[in-house]
Amino acid sequence: MRTVLALLVAASIPPVHAQTAGQQKPELPSREIEVAMALSAAPEHLRNGAGVYALDTQGFVKVRESTNGFTCIVNRDHPVNLKPTCYDAEGTATILPKVVQIGAWMMAGKSMDEIRQLVADGFKSGTFISPRRPGVAYMLSGDIKNFNPQTGRAGSFPPHVMFYAPNLTNADIGSKGDGSDGMPFIAYQGPHGFIIMLPAEHASGRNVR
């Protein structure tokens, strides 16, 4: 299973130089590759029971129900991003709906500015909610692609585990905010913030927003 996933995921990732800010919609790999990418986020012992979403022309569709509370998806929070993520039951209930909706908005051709405003409106209206308890989201794939606004391009990001930290800030935990010193930092500061810890050798120059 691990070898098959690795081969499928490796075949699916477009070269970094092809992923730039000018791309308007996420690229669509085959369903088989999309599912393999999603499952690559989870620890191996959770993959068989995890639910799976895959991106289609209209947005994300559920292709498999969860039997263990975990749900895996290749998060696209920017047209060039590929972020295989596997949420626990709490993340499935509170974070996944936003991820799925953003996918639909992207495939409908909405701009990032429009999507950011729609997300903010969704939190104000209660359509989207923050995690209600501590929990975990796994991002253990070795093929995470993340857009860096400082360079205008997508680059690789190392495997890691995220813990829900709604509305916690880097100032709250005394962090520089970039992980370059090997200390934890907050990604996506706000209602769906996460605490991330990276080994110092992987952290320099990383940018997660």
Is 176 part of a structural domain of the chain?
A: no
Task: Kindly report each contact of residues 14-19 with a partner whose C-beta sits within 8 Å and lies 24 or more positions away, as own/partner.
Answer: 16/145, 16/153, 16/154, 16/155, 16/156, 17/153, 19/80, 19/145, 19/147, 19/153, 19/154
Q: What is the number of domains present in the chain?
A: 1
Encode 19-33: b = buried (16+ Cβ within 10 Å), e = exposed. Answer: bebeeeebeebeeeb
Of 46, 44, 13, give the one whose Cα is nearest residue 30. 13
Is 140 part of a structural domain of the chain?
A: yes
Is 183 part of a structural domain of the chain?
A: no
**Per-residue pLDDT in tens (0 to 9) along the chain, 209 residues:** 443 334 334 333 443 334 444 557 898 999 999 999 999 999 999 999 999 999 999 999 999 999 999 999 999 999 999 999 999 999 999 999 999 999 999 999 999 999 999 999 999 999 999 999 999 999 999 878 888 777 878 788 888 899 999 999 999 999 988 777 778 899 888 999 999 976 555 544 455 54
Handedness of CA 148, 26, 58, 89 (dihedral sign): negative
Is 150 part of a structural domain of the chain?
A: yes
Is 83 part of a structural domain of the chain?
A: yes
Neighbours of 16 (CB within 10 A): 13
**Residue 18 Cα distances to 15, 75, 108, 147, 152, angstroms:** 6, 19, 22, 12, 12
Is 184 part of a structural domain of the chain?
A: no
Domain that holds residue 28: 2-12+23-164
pTM of the predicted model as reported, rounded to 2 decimal places: 0.81
Is 181 part of a structural domain of the chain?
A: no
User: Are residues 25 and 78 in contact, defined by beta-carbon separation less than 8 angstroms?
Assistant: no
Is 108 part of a structural domain of the chain?
A: yes
d(CA 131, CA 32): 30
